[in-house]
Structure formats: structure tokens, C-alpha cells
Amino acid sequence: MKVAAVIPGAGQGLRFSGDSSGLNRHVKKKQFRQFGDKSLIFTTLEPFLQSTIITSVIVVVPEDRIDWINNQVKTGLFNKPVFVVLGGDTRQRSVRNGVEVAASQHDVVVVHDAVRPFLKEVWISETVNLCEKFDGAIVAIKAKDTLKKVNDGVVNSTMEREGIWQAQTPQTFKTDVLLAAIESADEKGIIGTDEAQLVEMNGGRVAIVEGSALNIKITTQEDWELAKAIWKERLKYED
């Protein structure tokens, strides 16, 4: 079984910069900032490059970063192919671009956010193995906080937490299943919140692998500071 990793990293990071208008696009996007001893996106890539399960890695980036990533790939001593693909104007389009590259030669595809640097390799293997029984499998954590439904700043109701999970990545699927789900959503004009939603809407069965609260997605400046703190704490135990 051949397994590809697709790493969508083409986002503009407007919430991170605090610029909802998108006017400050000259600000360096978070996925390309220095994180630890390398850029964030390459910190995220490392478990996939080391994994014996992953056959090839597909990195999806904005047009202005293609040459930079390609140069990094050429100088890196990687033991598997790394392909650089142009991203789209939405995450869904970017993921589709990456999955289309993987589709011809890979049975399973693992999608993981470029800005989630605390991936555990066991999540790769567990989600891939579950694709033998299910259409896909995702990493998620059980909801811990009380959940409120709110309209116009006023609480309408409190939701029952039983059976509620917060989705993370990696999200892993049979390649043909995910591609068919994205194509179906695109035809209907549907933009999903994650890949699992699209597969679910297309009739797929998706299993759960329990993740970790430390598997954070760096979306805001607060997330960046938290990620740096987690990274420093990890280094203490490695020294």
C-alpha cells in the first residue's frame, strides 16, 4: 500500500496577522517563520519524512513560496520524494490540488495542517491502518469544556458534551474516497470545515483516533506563543 502525505500550507494567515482585510500580505506567513531550528512548515514535515509508512510528501504552498520550498527540498537529504504544488484560494482547493497529484500512485492520503507542528508518528500509522476497515480516520480529542450555542452574544442553550469530539489533523482517507468527496462538494458549491466532513457528506465512514490537546493548530499570535512554550518544554526533556 502506497501512502502520500498532503500538507496544505497555502493559507494567508489573516487571523494570525490580525488583518482581516488582507492588505498586509507582505507580512511573513506563519508557516514560513522560524520555529525551533527550522521553518514551521519543515518542522511539521519532519515526522512524515521520517515515517516508514509515508511513500511521498506533497507540500501545497502559495505561488510566491514555490521556488523557496523547491530550493529547500533540493538541499535537504530526504529519503523519499517531496513534491511542491501550487495552492488554491481556499484550503479545500489546496487539498484537492495535492490529492490530485497523489491519486495516480497512492492508495491512501494523509492530510495534515502545515501549522500543526506537534504531530506524533503513531497517529500516522493508526489512521492509515484504520483505512483498511473504514473510508478514513481522523485524529480528534474529546470535548472537555461546556459548550454553548450563542446568537447575537446571548446564550441560547448548553450542548451535551457526550459523544462530542474536536477534530484535528492528520486526517487520513482512501485516496479515491477523498477525491470523490471533494469533487462532489465542489460541484455543489459546498466548502467544508475539514476533509472528514466532505467524506461524511458523501456517505463515507470515518473512524476516530484519540489525539492530544498539545496537537495545536497555530492560528493566532496567542497560539504561536503557546507553541513556542510547548517547544521549549520539549527541549528540556530531550537535553
Every domain of the chain and the residues it spans: 3-238
Bridge partners (DSSP) of residue 137 are: 172, 207
Alpha-carbon gap, residue 192 to 204, rounded angstroms: 14
Grid coordinates representing 177?
474516497
3-state class (DSSP) for residue 92: helix
Query: What is the pLDDT, as a whole number, of residue 77?
Result: 78
Alpha-carbon gap, residue 162 to 25, rounded angstroms: 41
Alpha-carbon gap, residue 107 to 110, rounded angstroms: 10
Query: What is the pLDDT, as a whole number, of residue 14?
Result: 47
Query: What is the pLDDT, as a whole number, of residue 238?
Result: 57
Grid coordinates representing 105?
500512485
Angle between helices 121-130 and 40-50 (to 10 degrees): 60
Fold annotation for 3-238: Spore Coat Polysaccharide Biosynthesis Protein SpsA; Chain A (3.90.550)
pLDDT by residue for the chain (239 residues), tens only, comes to: 999 999 999 876 544 444 444 444 434 688 999 998 899 999 999 999 999 999 999 999 999 999 999 998 888 878 899 999 999 999 999 999 999 999 999 999 999 999 999 999 999 999 999 999 999 999 999 999 999 999 999 999 999 889 999 999 999 999 999 999 999 999 999 999 999 999 999 999 999 999 999 999 999 999 999 999 999 887 765 54
Q: What is each CA distance from 89 to 11, 94, 95, 96, 113, in whole angstroms? A: 8, 7, 11, 11, 16
Strand blocks (E) in 87-178 = 108-111, 136-142, 147-151, 154-159, 165-174
Query: What is the pLDDT, as a whole number, of residue 234?
Result: 78
Q: What is each CA distance from 172 to 83, 84, 95, 103, 209, in whole angstroms? A: 19, 20, 12, 14, 11
Considering the chain, what percentage of its residues have pLDDT values greater than 70?
91
